[in-house]
Amino acid sequence: MASGQIHIAILNPGVEITPLRLRGWLHKEAAAIDKRANPGDGAILRLFLTKKLRYGLPARKLDAILQALIDKYPAIQRVETQLVEAPLMPEEMEEQTRLANVHLEKFKQRAEEYAKRKQAEALENARPAPIQWHTLKSALD
């Protein structure tokens, strides 16, 4: 069974991040997240893109940038993007953090239920050990 933890990182590029700077900023953030992760940990990035950033890059270019994050940094498992009008305010970031924690708790519960179900299935399907007969020789023989 896998060990480690799943983390959700909320990435909120500020107004100073332009479409030309997005790639470098994302790699810097992903590298920091990857560096903090322990072996076996996984991270999901939730990237809140403004319309300016999203539509400032061709779709293929954005896909290539996001795929490069997953390919380069082992801890990064997935990147989820959400389109927003403007960078998130501190209150909105707190709300997104709360939602991320709720999602992590639900994921943890489903993972535990799955592990228990798989363990029960393994026990049900386990073959009994074959009976082995041995002939004992006495010291008198």
Q: What percent of the chain has pLDDT over 70?
A: 92
Q: How much is the average pLDDT of 100-109?
A: 87
Mean pLDDT for the stretch of residues 81-92: 93
User: Whole-model pTM?
Assistant: 0.72
Work out the mean pLDDT of the chain and round it to a whole number: 88
Q: Does residue 139 have a pLDDT over 80?
A: no
Does residue 31 carry a pLDDT above 60?
Answer: yes
Confidence (pLDDT) at 125? 78
The arrangement of strands across the sheet holding 76-84 comes to 6-11, 42-50, 76-84
Could you tell me if 44 and 6 are in contact, meaning their C-beta atoms sit under 8 angstroms apart?
yes
Token pair 């990147």 is at which residue? Answer: 79
Query: How crowded is residue 69: how many other Cβ atoms within 10 Å of its Cβ?
Result: 21
